[in-house]
A and B are shown apart, each in its own frame.
Chain A
Amino acid sequence: MDQLHPGARWIFRADMYKGTLGFIAAIIIGGISVALDEGFSVDVLRWMGFVIAGVAVVALLVGEVYSRLAHSYFSYTLSQDSVVIRRGIIWQTETMIPIQRVQNVEVERGLLAQLFGFSTVYIYTAAGQEEASSGWWGAKWQEKEGRLPAIDQQTAQNIQTLLLKKSKRAKGGL
């Protein structure tokens, strides 16, 4: 059972903030159009500011709680014959990828990853990455099947080489 790099929290936070940005944009557009309608009312703009600040504070708090929980509920195990990824706070999923089925391993370093010194690892199989299932009340937060959001750089490299070597050996061949 291995935990993610602490920087993974930033990825989870960013997931949360992304959803809020659209919301804030809608408030700004709505607020400005109402303000113009009222003859450029400063009062309306002030209220808009308060609402945005409120939304931002809520987003920050929720993002903080969510990212910590998501981080502590995410773990992975690399064993002789499979990779097991455990994730999810309420809807918990345990994905098992037989090493023999690994098609490709990708290591990605985005902006956050470079800032906080981690790598994102994608483990691909031949199965589609669809995962569009939704619960009762709308879509639930979905992670890609074989994604490890944040792993220490060196470890990520090691995982990549190890998995590719093992999957080749497991498949037999030349």
Chain B
Amino acid sequence: MQQLHPSARWVFRTSVYQWLIPMLAIIAIVAFVALVIVVFPSEGQTEVSQEDAALSRTMMILAGFAALATIIGGLLSSEVYARMAYERYLYDLTKEGLIIERGIVWKKHVTIPYDRIQNVDIERGILARLLNFSSVSIHTAGYSGGGPEGYLPALDVATADQMRGALLRRIQRR
């Protein structure tokens, strides 16, 4: 069994970071509400009341802690997740087909027979070009939605090209 390119960890990390954005957005809204409370006095009043100021302060402090906790927790969990996911993402080209074994808790072992492979995509996004890797997607027949059946998040650029060539050769043999 082969391992992915080490930069695959960055792909896994960013998949955790995605979850942080909506959480930070909610926290930012709370902080904004706190700001509005302290800047605009309630109706009929010329000054912000003592209670409102205290409420606003509490909200700000809580939002600050929440943001800090989210960022630290997010960074730590993404690091742990990325390392574990990387260790447990293996692939190989066997006689039967391409096999992929992945998953930390819920394990998934897929075998994609060569005669089911339709087209092969090599993708290179921003991250991939910064860290010099390619993602490979293997599309199969009779598959609906939820991304490609065979997905290798990060392979060495040359390895990805070789892999595609090897798949093409095996497709033709039958």
Which residues of B line the A interface, CB within 8 A? Answer: 14, 18, 117-126, 129, 139-145, 147, 164, 168, 171-172
Contacts and interface: CB of A to CB of B under 8 A. Distances in A.
Contacts of A145: 119, 121, 139
A90 B122 CA distance: 14
B119 A100 contact: no
Interface stretch (A3-11, A12-20, A52-60, A130-138): A130-138
B143 A93 contact: no
B168 A98 contact: yes
Nearest to B128: A92
Interface of A: 81-82, 90-98, 100-101, 125-128, 130, 132-133, 135-136, 145-146, 170
A128 B121 CA distance: 14
Contact of A170 (B121, B142, B172): B172
A5 B124 CA distance: 25
Contact of A128 (B120, B144, B164): B144
B171 A100 contact: yes
Contact of B172 (A81, A94, A126, A128): A81
B123 A130 contact: no
